[in-house]
Structure 1
């Protein structure tokens, strides 16, 4: 595949030495971050594949501070949509595989939410037993057997014979927008489903669902809208501006992050602040990745024992990060990420159901 045939290079944007734009290049570098902007929205009702203008987003992103970032960033440009929506999925997957072969983290920006299927599919070819965290206000499990859309892509991931989904976390759903049966089904198969109310004001309680995620995607419908709409399906309720930036940082802080996507953004918005917000969300994601890369690979833990009935239950705290885990294992990868709040609840005799499955 010739990359030049499927991408429109980003136009040069002048940046000061201290700005992020000074760190961004047009060449993919191993172990770096890769930005891919997409304009194919045919996965939503009445969606099109017309080329979107991301210049304002780029200008706002490039002028932000690069702080002490060391992870190289590549802006590959705008993906040229295929003749059909399925063609776009295929092209995107090939591009993502190229990133994975270089151990680079692709961040796909724009396009309809079903493009998350391509991120999962490409990553599944690269490694198995994936942990996928999605922030979305809706849980759609339609299984119509048709072409990939934002209504059926999640069902295709969960039921795909060739897919190895170890954990799935669905964050930010809103009760009044969802079928009760869909929520019940997700819980019955032991997937974590977290309401919007549990994510508001602080990331502390839901941070554990990001900590080991291989893939994180955001449906912008889960963000409250400004002006003419932050998303293509604007919502009056959702995560606010500060909250979504904080969760983008948590995404970057994942110990296992291999790929990320931000979908259903309203690229046609005439509201400047919507473009500025998206730019700052991307910046916080990049910041999180840089912080995680600076953490020591060898981890030390403090162990805490809790008595529940007649059983001794172990929790452990990472000495460097202060983050909490459930389990008695000496291998960090076998511990279950948790919050301080869950440890405190265990001391009161309340053990979260996901710990009882171990």
Structure 2
């Protein structure tokens, strides 16, 4: 049983949880303890910590998630009506592939039960194992990574800097789209940047997202798997001065992105990686997780779950094309229709509406084809 690989929280942490106020988040969560394993019926979210850092050439065998859990569970929940479990920790296996195997199978079981796995800790190559969890779920995967690098790197021994290459190359290939938010050009070779363009993937520079954080919302709205690398955050906010990064997202921005990920009706797994044990970074990670759950509790269950009856339809003629937009009556969010080919893989049929912004509709009215629409068309043809 894959759940047997999970280590329960410590008895010391159990005592700490007991000492908290009855209003604290720790009192609203069901824990995998030394004596009990949570019942997984009617559960929405499952938190799992992963103690695997070998992908970044770090050996954190002594690493403990106690500080993180104490900070997180001491906070107070919002007006949430959802059941959360903490399944404990996946310790590093004999090899890194053993850890991947456990993460993959555990996540696959949870997603089948309609439970969103939240992976906290480990190096970002754990994203590869999360992606592999979708192998048996008969769907294509849209992966969104908040990261200052693309992680395509060839000339490196670090798995955490090259895991995306494995995702693209290895069979079965279930990746439909990869989107990067927050890349910094000087951390990425021109070859990697060219590859993003060649594969019709999406990439948004740090400045582009920081200047208008709302550009990220449609990207998350189309995501299945969201992976956040804490190295994308400024060191002055993350507290990580071992690997100093003067530029990156602020604490407020990274929390806003986590909330966008949570509020997306389509996201079915979420991970936060590469955070250190510094108090600052643990506190920020805890708050990011809080915002993800806050977003989840305010999901509107629109597309792909709703019907088009609750949308206003707009048709915009451009050259030989007719672009069809839909605006939700409920949230005023926008989508654009992608006319998929009739012989396309059945797995893709749910992707007929692509999330977009109101600005995309306004640009189309000025005869500008939205770039996201164009790239989605090219991926479909390819």
Alignment TM-score > 0.5, same fold: yes
CA gap 1:251/1:228 in 2 versus in 1, 3 angstroms: closer
Q: What's 1:35 paired with?
A: 47
How far the C-alpha of 1:277 sits from its partner, in A, is 0.9
- Give yes or no for the alignment of 1:292 onto 2:299: yes
CA gap 1:231/1:205 in 2 versus in 1, 3 angstroms: farther
| Alignment partner of 1:19 out of 24, 30, 34 | 24
Q: Secondary structure at the match of 2:127?
A: helix
What is the rounded CA distance, in whole Å, between the counterparts of 1:107 and 1:32 in structure 2? 11
Q: What's 2:34 paired with?
A: none
Q: What's 1:340 paired with?
A: 358
How far the C-alpha of 1:19 sits from its partner, in A, is 2.3
How far the C-alpha of 1:355 sits from its partner, in A, is 1.9
Equivalenced residue count is 352
Q: What's 1:281 paired with?
A: 288
How far the C-alpha of 1:182 sits from its partner, in A, is 0.4
Q: Secondary structure at the match of 1:356?
A: helix
Q: What's 2:236 paired with?
A: 226
- Give yes or no for the alignment of 1:57 onto 2:68: yes
What is the rounded CA distance, in whole Å, between the counterparts of 1:187 and 1:36 in structure 2? 34
TM superposition score normalised by structure 1:
0.90
Q: What's 1:353 paired with?
A: 371
What is the rounded CA distance, in whole Å, between the counterparts of 1:213 and 1:244 in structure 2? 17
| Alignment partner of 2:135 out of 124, 142, 152 | 124
Where does the alignment leave 5 or more consecutive residues of structure 1 unmatched?
none
How far the C-alpha of 1:4 sits from its partner, in A, is 4.3
Conserved? CA contact 1:86–1:148, under 8 Å: no
What is the rounded CA distance, in whole Å, between the counterparts of 2:242 and 2:132 in structure 1? 24
- Give yes or no for the alignment of 1:203 onto 2:213: yes
Q: What's 1:212 paired with?
A: 222
* 1:15-164 superposed matches below 5 A: 15-26=20-31, 27=38, 29-30=40-41, 31-45=43-57, 47-143=58-154, 149-164=159-174
TM superposition score normalised by structure 2:
0.84
CA gap 1:17/1:79 in 2 versus in 1, 3 angstroms: same
CA gap 1:338/1:106 in 2 versus in 1, 3 angstroms: same
Conserved? CA contact 1:137–1:173, under 8 Å: yes
Conserved? CA contact 2:338–2:354, under 8 Å: no
What is the rounded CA distance, in whole Å, between the counterparts of 2:23 and 2:302 in structure 1? 23
Q: Secondary structure at the match of 1:200?
A: helix
What is the rounded CA distance, in whole Å, between the counterparts of 1:231 and 1:260 in structure 2? 25
What is the rounded CA distance, in whole Å, between the counterparts of 2:333 and 2:223 in structure 1? 15
Q: Secondary structure at the match of 1:96?
A: helix
Where does the alignment leave 5 or more consecutive residues of structure 2 unmatched?
32-37, 340-348, 378-382
Once the two structures are overlaid, the 10-residue window that deviates more, 107-116 or 14-23, is 14-23
CA gap 1:354/1:4 in 2 versus in 1, 3 angstroms: closer
Note the alpha carbon deviations across 1:245-298, whole angstroms, 9 max, x for none: 00001111121211111111112x2xx332211111000011111111676953
What is the rounded CA distance, in whole Å, between the counterparts of 1:155 and 1:328 in structure 2? 27
How far the C-alpha of 1:309 sits from its partner, in A, is 4.2
Conserved? CA contact 1:7–1:80, under 8 Å: yes
Q: Secondary structure at the match of 2:161?
A: coil
How far the C-alpha of 1:303 sits from its partner, in A, is 1.8
How far the C-alpha of 1:54 sits from its partner, in A, is 2.1
What is the rounded CA distance, in whole Å, between the counterparts of 2:328 and 2:126 in structure 1? 35
Once the two structures are overlaid, the 10-residue window that deviates more, 228-237 or 332-341, is 228-237
What is the rounded CA distance, in whole Å, between the counterparts of 1:332 and 1:3 in structure 2? 31
How far the C-alpha of 1:226 sits from its partner, in A, is 2.9
